Amino acid sequence: MLSLLALTIFCPFLIAGLSFDDAAGTVSLKISQGELLGKRINSYDNRTGYGFLGIPFAAPPVGPLRFAKPVAAAAWDGVRNVTEKGVACPAVAELTYKRPEGGPMGEDCLHSYVYASKNCLLKGGCPIMWVLHGGKYNFESPVVFVDDVIVHNFASDGQDVVVIIPAYRLENFGFLNIAPGLNTSAPPNTAVWDLLLALQWVHREAFHFGGDAKKITVFGHSAGSQFADVISTSPHFNGLFRGMSMMSGADTYYEGGIQANSLASWVTAKLLGCANDATNWKDIVVVEGVIECMRSKTWEEIIAANKQLNSYAEDYHGPHADGPGGILPLPPSTLSRTRLPVPIMIGTTSAEFHDTKYALTADGTAGDLNKVAELCEGVGYGTGYIHPDVMTKRCLDYYMQGKNVMSLQQDTMFFAPTFLTARDMAKGAVYLYSFTYTGVGAAFKKYVKLDPEDHPSHSEDYVYILGMHRGNFSAKDYEIEKIYSGMVLNFVKTGYPNPGKGQPAWKPFTKLGRDYYQIDFDDNLRMPGPKKGYQDGAIKLWVDDAEKYGGGINPPQDYPAHADRFNPMDMVTVMEAHATNINVAHDKTLETELSNYDDWTTYINNRRFKHLQGLKNFRSMAVEQLDLTQVAAPENNGICCISRSYTDGTVCVCNSTYCDDIVPLGSIPLGYAAVYRSDINGARMDKANVQQKTKADGVIVELDPSTLYQKQNELELLRFLAQASTALNVEGVRNENARRFSSDGTEYNLGRVPMASTDFSTTQYSYDDVEGDLDLKNFSLAKEDFDYKIPLIKQAMSLQQSNGGVKFFAAPWAPPGWMKTNGKMEGGGYLLGEPDGPYYVTWANYFVKFFEAYLAEGIGFWAVTPQMFADPAVSSYVSGIAVHWYEDEIVNPNILSTTHDRHPEKFLLATEACNGWLDVQGKGVRLGFFFRAERYAHSIIEDLDNWVAGWVDWNMALDTQGGFTWAGNYVDAPIVVDGEEFYKQPMYYAMAHFSKFLKPGSRRAAVKLPTNPGLPKQGVFVLGAVMADGRRYVTICNKNNTDDVTISISEKAIDGVYTTVEVPAHSIVTVIWNKY
């Protein structure tokens, strides 16, 4: 009994009927469905493995199961011989088999193809590589994979991965969408349901082949990679795999809505004689009749009808949103924000497709303006950008540079979607790569003649992984195969694509660095390795600019005639056909493509007209809503706020793809002033140009530019507390925080950087927590510095380079606890010992080490606030005095002027403020509460009026509770994060009224306030300044509940020029005009 038990533990698969017949070259085993007979597969380099070539996971989808969700395959009697491959799922045979005569096909095709090493079969526990084939969702099959390459690279002894390739239904068999929105017997996305059943089969049966269902990596190339991307967003697939390896394909960018594939479905039904132009596709009885008719046809008849689609514009485009209860209940781009992050290896070749090369000039040196403009309008208006005119212009600017236009298709179809998927999954380990090796040559079986600059093209690298499109290998090719497939193998096994001995280590992708691994091979097979800035030009345009200026994507509900979704590849082929009179589409005729071109141009022209008409209407409405005197048409160069109302007021809603912007000041027309307004009714830095007048209305406020005061160090840069808030785990918030330093943001240029932890850190820590370490031998920066503070600081420095730079000052919250009298960082307590004693010396060296550590990262500091020192001896070392705002409302601000008068050689700097810290205010976050914006504006005006040179808020972003804070110190912030959304509070815009315009070199100027008639006795505050460029500036904050004020602003010594503005109750208004 003991020996039997030992045998069971060591080799359980023998009990399951595992046996090898070496003479016959076969293997037998039993799974839950029945017994199988597989075969040995001999590969090169004397490697062998075993294949089980076609195990049904679903019943044949025939009769009532055609176009229906799959049903699990039944068990069988006897032994099922799976030593020879089965049939491919119905499609255009010559495309699937890549040969004119095609190959065997049939509907009994929903099979899994399993490859395993002898080690895996005997010992078990092997990781699983679940491979999804490509083919535009319309052709290809597991039967065309190269068995010996699969065995050699993955499924032989020593490699020890179980490879499983499922089939899925194609074209209308897998993507029929006959009645969008109706619950019919032919639901959409049956191919996606096929894969779900196939993966469930793997979980049930894989251990029979030595596979561990807890170690499944989904692998795909081209459309297979796109399919992997899509299923990872479906809630039905959550938890069914642990990693993804995606080559040259991502598909959550240009999404298909609920109508996708419907037009092609209807054309096919008509071609089969099952429908006509009068068919009512909303009548379920009629629709079911059409479905039954289509089920009565042979699969050959259906494929023949599909072939006739070559003469039609309509086409099948794969998976799409199918609504509540579906397998993709929302568009994949929406689902992608909540998908479970898993380790992912993802990348592209550097020259996937150069099909837009036709848009070069005749000499091939630059873009042809007309062709580039046509392409950019197609992408700009076809994609569904909120601001298509802006994206069209930016597209044109970029692709008219040099030969950039030859990459337009791959930029939009491959690079940008790949980057976005990497970014979506960055909560897990992401390994992004670019395959740049141009020497594949004869190893790739080419179907199209390419120029040298067009390599490595789509699929060239695939020859080294699974052998598809494999040509003649050289000795170097075999070595490259070992290295490249080895990285995939290592990723499947461990979650890390180890490049191997002698190669540079692969660093994970980061959102800020956009890290990737360059895969190329010199004569010694050495790879370049880790790089920064994956496809910089394409990502800046189609991700950064698209999110910043394009306003995000709202997929259009209308499409060109005969189309039901947008796809850049389809658009390019029709434009190329028109430009060259040559057809490059393998599944359409030239006549069809030329007809499609006419549809496209009509569609783009109509969308352009509608958009421009919408802008005209927007401008008209904006004039009415601003309610300013003598208003010229407001500018619309910024991105509009999407407002949402809460109990206390309204916020502007943002996410990772859309966020409002502040309209730039720009040049001001002669005789006008620029006016920005924020108010309790929802205005958020709304801009208009107001005509100046010769007579005053209301009360007069006079600016005196000849009387100037302190220089402004620039207002408000929130201190770096990136790790402290869940807010900053949202990419859109990181982008927005960074934009605060840029010219199209709020242009902060002063920042406080905490030395070690603060109230809003995730935990309490110092840089040396080893008690008694007076020599600071254990001093080191923390993970939060490297992961959050330093990257964000560098991004801020980069964005402010052209705008005068950004200054940082450091601030410690406390010494390490072991250096204090109370033994801990928080609470009271003092530094141990006396001045000049060992603890004081160590504390001073702590500062030095901090500065040295940051300097090593390329970051220098302008100043430090080393806490309070009353000793007069230190005065010569002190440049300024830092103040906080917490008693602003009970202490007269004149005390600041008194301090200045006593110490005129020291500047004053307000270094911390926050709302929501008192229970009386309502502790924590209050969404949309304009009172808190007024408090900020009031404080800034009072501080600057009393010699303060700059003003710093506390937190960049917090969650809806007012954290994260280990100390329970819940407060409010200008940005509040709620899941995948974040809200820009009125405080954000209040600060922008100052920080956007008072740049370094600006000077506060005297303001003469009226006495008769005067301003309301309380609640109206005015700040005047001369901006760094000489323009005049006045900001007015009206905190009154009911008193609206009409103010005419004049400039001393300039007679007869007034800017008259309405300043409603609870508003902040900024007025700027040119120097006369």
Please write the tens of the pLDDT for every residue from 872-909.
778 888 989 999 988 777 788 889 999 999 999 899 99
Is residue 33 within 8 Å of 73, Cβ to Cβ? yes
d(CA 738, CA 655): 15
CATH number, domain containing residue 960: 3.20.20.80
Asked if residue 279 belongs to a domain, the reply is no
Is residue 818 within 8 Å of 771, Cβ to Cβ? yes
Helix ranges restricted to H, 109-220: 118-123, 147-153, 171-175, 190-205
Confidence of residue 832 (pLDDT cuts 50, 70, 90): very high
Asked if residue 644 belongs to a domain, the reply is no
Give yes or no: residues 787 and 699 share one domain.
no
Residue found under tokens 């090593």: 856
Give yes or no: residues 982 and 1007 share one domain.
no
The first and second tokens of residue 1047, run together, are 């103010």
The first and second tokens of residue 717, run together, are 């840069």
Collapsed DSSP state (helix, strand, coil) of residue 285: helix
Please write the tens of the pLDDT for every residue from 177-233.
999 989 999 999 999 999 999 999 999 999 999 999 999 999 999 999 999 999 999
HEC per residue, 568-596? HHHHHHHHHHHHHCCCCCCCCCHHHHHHH
Asked if residue 964 belongs to a domain, the reply is yes
| pLDDT for residue 538 is more than 90 | yes
Asked if residue 57 belongs to a domain, the reply is yes
d(CA 838, CA 818): 13
883, β-bridge pairs: 910
| pLDDT for residue 5 is more than 60 | no
Asked if residue 586 belongs to a domain, the reply is no
Please write the tens of the pLDDT for every residue from 610-624.
776 665 454 333 333
d(CA 582, CA 102): 25
Give yes or no: residues 456 and 414 share one domain.
yes
Arithmetic mean of pLDDT, 392-409: 93
pLDDT value for 743: 58
Confidence of residue 88 (pLDDT cuts 50, 70, 90): very high
CATH number, domain containing residue 1071: 2.60.40.1180
- CA 29 to chain CA centroid, Å, is 46
pLDDT value for 713: 40
Choose one of 553, 580, 607: the last residue of a domain: 580
pLDDT value for 626: 30
d(CA 222, CA 246): 8
Q: List the one residue out of 988, 958, 969, 954 whose CA is nearest residue 754.
A: 954
Collapsed DSSP state (helix, strand, coil) of residue 769: coil
Q: What percent of the chain has pLDDT over 90?
A: 61
The first and second tokens of residue 130, run together, are 């679940």
The first and second tokens of residue 775, run together, are 């020599």
Collapsed DSSP state (helix, strand, coil) of residue 36: strand
Strands 26-31 and 34-42: antiparallel
The first and second tokens of residue 185, run together, are 């017997």
| pLDDT for residue 7 is more than 60 | no
- φ/ψ region of 980 (left if φ > 0, alpha if ψ in -120 to 50, else beta) reads alpha
Would you list the DSSP string of 682-740?
S--SEEEEEE-BSS--SEEEEEEEEEEEEEP--S---B--GGG-GGGGSHHHHHHHHHT
Query: Using omega within 30 degrees of 0 as the cis cutoff, is the peptide bond preceding 1013 cis?
Result: yes
pLDDT value for 421: 95
d(CA 429, CA 364): 41
- The more confidently predicted of residues 173 and 256 is 173
Confidence of residue 794 (pLDDT cuts 50, 70, 90): confident
Mean confidence (pLDDT) of the chain: 87
Asked if residue 418 belongs to a domain, the reply is yes
pLDDT value for 171: 94
Give yes or no: residues 964 and 1025 share one domain.
no
Choose one of 970, 1000, 1030: the last residue of a domain: 1000
Q: List the one residue out of 940, 950, 948 whose CA is nearest residue 1035.
A: 940
Arithmetic mean of pLDDT, 942-951: 91
The first and second tokens of residue 1015, run together, are 């301003």
CATH number, domain containing residue 149: 3.40.50.1820
Count of alpha carbons within 13 angstroms of residue 309, beta-carbon side: 30
Query: Using omega within 30 degrees of 0 as the cis cutoff, is the peptide bond preceding 861 cis?
Result: no
Q: List the one residue out of 996, 903, 979 whose CA is nearest residue 947.
A: 903
pLDDT value for 887: 79
Give the angle subtended at the CA of 335 by the CAs of 332 and 339, to the nearest 5°.
120
pLDDT value for 827: 83
d(CA 267, CA 993): 58
pLDDT value for 17: 83
Give yes or no: residues 835 and 865 share one domain.
yes
Give yes or no: residues 695 and 729 share one domain.
no
What angle, 0 to 180 degrees and rounded to 10, lies between the N-to-C axes of helices 369-382 and 590-626?
A: 70
Give yes or no: residues 938 and 1033 share one domain.
no
Domain range for 211: 2-215+224-240+249-256
Question: In total, how many domains does the chain have?
Answer: 4
Label residue 1072 exposed, middle or buried (CB < 10 Å: 0-12, 13-18, 19+). Answer: buried
Arithmetic mean of pLDDT, 163-171: 97
346, β-bridge pairs: 246, 432
Please write the tens of the pLDDT for every residue from 223-266.
999 999 999 999 999 999 999 999 999 987 776 788 889 999 99
Choose one of 580, 603, 621: the last residue of a domain: 580
Give yes or no: residues 1030 and 995 share one domain.
no
Please write the tens of the pLDDT for every residue from 507-521.
999 988 999 999 999
Is residue 485 within 8 Å of 151, Cβ to Cβ? no
Amino acid (1-letter code) at residue 749: N
d(CA 609, CA 615): 10
- The more confidently predicted of residues 923 and 465 is 465
Confidence of residue 357 (pLDDT cuts 50, 70, 90): very high
- The more confidently predicted of residues 629 and 249 is 249
Q: List the one residue out of 793, 801, 768, 802 whose CA is nearest residue 860.
A: 793
Please write the tens of the pLDDT for every residue from 592-613.
888 888 888 888 888 887 776 6
338, β-bridge pairs: none
Label residue 48 exposed, middle or buried (CB < 10 Å: 0-12, 13-18, 19+). Answer: middle
Give yes or no: residues 693 and 741 share one domain.
no
Collapsed DSSP state (helix, strand, coil) of residue 348: strand
Give yes or no: residues 809 and 900 share one domain.
yes
Q: What percent of the chain has pLDDT over 70?
A: 90
Asked if residue 661 belongs to a domain, the reply is no
Confidence of residue 868 (pLDDT cuts 50, 70, 90): low
pLDDT value for 919: 61
Query: Using omega within 30 degrees of 0 as the cis cutoff, is the peptide bond preceding 456 cis?
Result: yes
| pLDDT for residue 636 is more than 70 | no
pLDDT value for 44: 92
Give the angle subtended at the CA of 433 by the CAs of 427 and 439, to the nearest 5°.
170
pTM (2 d.p.): 0.62
| pLDDT for residue 4 is more than 50 | no
Give yes or no: residues 1040 and 1053 share one domain.
yes
d(CA 466, CA 475): 18
Cβ neighbors of 1002 (< 8 A, separation 6 or more) are 711, 712, 1025, 1026, 1027, 1028, 1033
Arithmetic mean of pLDDT, 706-728: 45
Please write the tens of the pLDDT for every residue from 719-757.
223 223 333 434 445 555 555 555 556 777 788 899 999
Is residue 712 within 8 Å of 653, Cβ to Cβ? no
The first and second tokens of residue 145, run together, are 């994979």
Confidence of residue 6 (pLDDT cuts 50, 70, 90): very low
Asked if residue 417 belongs to a domain, the reply is yes
Q: Among 142-151, 274-283, 594-603, whose mean pLDDT is lowest?
A: 594-603
Give yes or no: residues 880 and 851 share one domain.
yes
The first and second tokens of residue 507, run together, are 């660093």
Backbone angles phi, psi at 638, to 5 degrees: -100, 175
- Where do the DSSP E strands lie in 133-180? 162-166
3-state helix, strand and coil shares in percent for the chain, rounded to the nearest 5: 35, 20, 45
Handedness of CA 917, 923, 929, 930 (dihedral sign): negative
d(CA 656, CA 735): 8
Is residue 85 within 8 Å of 144, Cβ to Cβ? no
d(CA 760, CA 723): 8
